[in-house]
């Protein structure tokens, strides 16, 4: 088994279903949160994103490479 190193995950949210109905506001909110990640290795280090629901609220998980 390979041990991953220099990979991190951040979870943003919770976002209400109402926030997901306004795509412009949602895009701005998520973009601002992703841009605030300070320990990424570069500005193109996002590996994966996942949107999931917990108890009716939405969360965004971002996997990225760290410096």
pLDDT band for 5, please (50, 70, 90 cuts). confident
> pLDDT, tens digit, for every residue of 14-63?
999 888 888 898 888 888 888 888 888 887 888 999 999 999 999 999 99
pTM, whole model, 2 decimals?
0.81
**Does the structure show a pLDDT above 80 at 1?**
no
Report the C-alpha gap between 14 and 59 in whole angstroms: 5
Q: pLDDT-based confidence at 13, cuts 50/70/90?
A: very high
Domain ranges of the chain: 7-65
Residue 22 has a pLDDT of: 85
In angstroms, what CA-CA distances link 34 with 2, 10, 17, 56, 64? 27, 9, 20, 22, 10
């Amino acid at each position: 088994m390979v041990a991953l190193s220099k990979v991190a995950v951040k979870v943003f949210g919770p976002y209400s279903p109402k926030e997901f109905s306004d795509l412009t506001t949602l895009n701005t909110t998520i973009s601002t949160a992703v841009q605030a990640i300070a320990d990424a290795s570069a500005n193109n280090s996002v590996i994966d994103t996942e949107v999931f629901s917990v108890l009716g609220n939405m969360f965004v998980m971002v996997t990225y490479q760290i410096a």
